[in-house]
A and B are shown apart, each in its own frame.
Chain A
Amino acid sequence: DIQMTQSPSSLSASVGDRVTISCRASQSIINYLNWYQQKPGKAPKLLIYTASSLQSGVPSRFSGSGSGTDFTLTISSLQPEDFGTYYCQQSYGTPRTFGQGTKLDLK
């Protein structure tokens, strides 16, 4: 199975901050990497697919980059509604695996 490791596991930031979350795969997944945001009690929401494509309706302050084994999600200017938990997920193969999550909260 492809293991996905996110860092950091938790992060405190302020509105307006630039935030980056990293995701590393245990083997090359080319660019088959997706990012999701989850709020408490809600289903995950797709933000970025295939490493850098912005899902329709997602604000442009979210961006993704990377290839091979190392990927990054960046929020250029943090907004109050961006707090929650972020997950990366590989779609290179099955089983489809997720990172352990990065909890982003208000400093």
Chain B
Amino acid sequence: QVQLQQWGAGLLKPSETLSLTCAVYSGSLDGYYWSWIRQPPGKGLEWIAEINHSGSTNYNMSLKSRVTISVDTSKNQLSLRLRSVTAADTALYYCARLQGPHVRRGVTRESYFDYWGQGALVTVSS
């Protein structure tokens, strides 16, 4: 059973950089895309970005200028950095595995999020 375990700083001040890591257990990064998704308190889900094991990425253009995602295949981990945070970035952040019949070939249409991390609450406050 694949497990995703997340961690990172929970309280930030405005203008600081959010940094989160997601470790994948009982599974490989290879053959999948791995996403970051966030959920402001009491609100819906917003997709941030995704990456595969070789570093191919897709970003939400609304956040792209502030986001960096990366993978460390030696540690079976992925990371998210979000620069210049504001209160609007306060949210529960999830990592999730993107699965689908064509994902291994780099085609992410017809895909779905089948495993999720437990979530990491990040609060931005002065």
Contact = CB atoms under 8 A, between A and B. Distances in A.
Interface of A: 32, 34, 36, 42-46, 49-50, 55, 87, 89, 91-101
Nearest to B95: A43
Contacts, number: 61
B114 A94 contact: no
- Interface size grouping (class) on chain B: 20 to 34
Given A87-B44, A98-B44, A50 B118 contact: no
B108 A34 contact: no
Contacts of A91: 100, 108-112
Interface of B: 35, 44-47, 50, 58-62, 94, 96, 100, 108-114, 116-119
B112 A94 contact: no
B112 A46 contact: yes
Given A43-B94, A43-B119, A89 B44 contact: no
B47 A98 contact: yes
A94 B108 contact: yes
Given A43-B116, A43-B117, A94 B58 contact: yes
